[in-house]
Structure 1
Amino acid sequence: MKINLIYFLKFLLFISFKSFAQDADTFTTNNVMSLVAPKNHQETEYHLQQFLRTTKSLVIPIAFTTYGFMAIENHPLRQINSEFREEILEHHPQFGTKIDNYLQFSPSLLAFSMKLAGNKGKHDMLQTFKLHAASTILMAGTVYLLKTNTHLLRPDASARNSFPSGHTATAFVGAEILHQEFKHTAPILSYSGYLAAGATGALRMYNNRHYFSDVITGAGIGILTTKATYWLDKKLHAKHH
């Protein structure tokens, strides 16, 4: 299992770095050459800014995912999981809600609602639906693979499929799509999905269904798989033009 997880982590990091092209031109040989032998100073500055921007956008989700994998067997990180759980149970021992079962879909619902209201965003409705479906399939497959290979016990001891949080991953897929579609036409609103997704993850912990590392990893996976889908879509469209 350890070997499988190591190879899987390498694969996940590979596709996440490929998603650099999501917000900028792919850093291909041609782009590298434009930096080595630029046509002008503005072109060099443009490529450098795009590269730095896309690199920065991946730091957090990669860090989240890496943290989760490390927490599987790292004692100090597992201790952090226990401390979070103990703190929640101490102050909210009777807490219980099913809101997280619905809140996980709210970022996606907002994205499609905005399109129905007339704000097209980056893609039309059909293309956004395809991107959402592909991102969800990739995310769900990733989550299932990890759950069935790690067999980590949930905090409430109800099942051995704690890692990672599927609810959180689902919420962050929607949040990332909302941001990618509307970051230029409704920039402030495009970030609201992350708040709902973060709340979903927090509620999973308060409901004693997941540990902190489960939620953090779910967030990272949701973002990375969506970025990978947008990258692949851009590559496919580039080949047809």
Structure 2
Amino acid sequence: MDVRRTHSPIFVRNKFNLYIQRNLFCCWLFIALANLCRAQTDTAIAPVPVIADTFRTVVSDSMPAAPDSLIQYKLNGAFFKSIFSDAAYVVSRPAHWQGKDFRNLGIVLGTTGALVLADKEIKRIVQRNQSPFVNSVANVVEPFGNRYSPYIMAGMFVVGAAVKNPELKNTALLTFKSYAIATSLYLVTKSMIRRNRPAYTDNNIDFHAPFSNDRYHTSFPSGHTLTVMTLATAVSEAYGKEHRWVPWVAYGIAGLTGVSRIYHNRHWASDVWVGAALGYFVTRSVFKNNRVKKKLGGLEVVWR
């Protein structure tokens, strides 16, 4: 049976390049928010610390960080510069990992390996157990991946500006930062690991050469899951300790979104798991780095 031909209508309905659309949307969104920020003055808010250009301090991973304190950013040059410093921190972390970091890596890799072995069976079970109710649930939660999440990020910033809530604005900016870094790593990974989507093959180990342009081999990892997990982790990091229900709701929606991608036969289960792990750990790292910066008075941090 020609699997590609059989499933080609699925691809036709979704043939617009979601990854290009997402990046173009983010560029437009940053420009729009920048204009909004320039038109607004927060006269009731005390000056916020920014990352200094000339002062540097060296810290280690063992240094305790203030758990509930974050740098308060504004949408300006210092914020955009901080994206690069945080990206450098995220990328350089493996060279400084300690015991628990290698434990987490082992959990991620071990679970990924187990899911790869089970991918075909998971696909078979899910596709044979479709129902109208599950269809309706999946259709509701799936857009949280690439459609709703960017609007939620923008909405957080706009609402924070409208009600003069600097914490909400700052959470939006940190979410954007995490999203930009995670998406960059995701695009590099997807370009290198060219895995065929389950809609077009029953072979879960069907890979093409790195950087090939085959439109079918774009399955690994799941971008929808990465996006919604980034948002869920950022919101949980900012509000989870104060409002215990926030992580349950945020991660619940993120998890259902990932499952919906398996249900709709867009991704293998292992694609979804890796996308979720990437969004989660990148966002946690960004928030950790910014908490340490805050504790050190907004100085640029050099980790060792």
TM-score computed with the length of structure 1 as normaliser? 0.63
In 2, Cα distance between equivalents of 1:154 and 1:186: 38
Q: What count of residue pairs does the alignment treat as equivalent? A: 188
- Secondary structure of the structure 2 residue equivalent to 1:184: coil
Cα distance in structure 2, aligned partners of 1:88 and 1:134: 35
Change (3 A) 1:183 1:211: same
Higher Rg of the two aligned structures = 2
Name 2:285's counterpart in structure 1. Answer: 228
* Distance apart, 1:61 and its partner CA: 6.4
Q: Secondary structure at the match of 1:155?
A: coil
Q: Which residue of 1 aligns with 2:167?
A: 124
Q: Does 1:112 align with 2:152?
A: no
Residue in 1 aligned with 2:242?
Answer: 185
Shift of 1:112: 3.0
Q: Output one character per residue of 1:215-239: Cα deviation in whole Å (capped at 9) or x when no partner.
A: 1111111110101111221232233
**Structure number with higher helix proportion:** 1
Gaps of 5+ in 1: 1-16, 26-54
The code of the aligned residue for 2:199 comes to D
Task: Give the equivalent residue in structure 1 for 2:217.
Answer: 160
Match of 2:180 among 137, 148, 154: 137
d(CA) in 2 for partners of 1:59 and 1:187?
28
Shift of 1:129: 2.0
Structure 2 residue 275 is the aligned partner of structure 1 residue 237: no
Indicate conservation of the 8 Å contact 2:66/2:292, yes or no. Answer: no
Unpaired runs of 5+ residues, structure 2, are 1-59, 69-97, 201-214, 299-304
CA displacement at 1:211 relative to structure 2: 0.6
For the 8 Å contact 2:142–2:261, the answer to whether it is kept is no
- Contact 1:107 1:178 (8 Å CA) reproduced: no
What RMSD in Å do the two structures reach over aligned CA positions? 3.9
Could you tell me which of 81, 94, 97 is aligned with 2:119?
81
CA contact (8 A) 1:169 1:221 kept: yes
Distance 1:225 1:124 in 2: 21
Instruction: Please give the secondary structure, in 2, of the residue aligned with 1:66.
Output: helix
Change (3 A) 1:190 1:100: closer
For 2:294 and 2:254, how far apart are their aligned partners in 1?
Answer: 29
1-structure distance, mates of 2:64, 2:126: 40
Letter in 2 for 1:189: V
Please say if 1:174 is aligned against 2:231: yes
Q: Deviations 1:29-85 (Å, cap 9, x if unpaired)?
A: xxxxxxxxxxxxxxxxxxxxxxxxxx9x979964563246x53xxxx6433001100
Aligned partners of 2:106 and 2:151: how far apart in 1?
A: 24
Whole-angstrom CA distance in 2 between matches of 1:20 and 1:91: 50
Question: How far apart are the structure 2 equivalents of 1:155 and 1:235?
Answer: 42
Residue of structure 2 equivalent to 1:102: 143
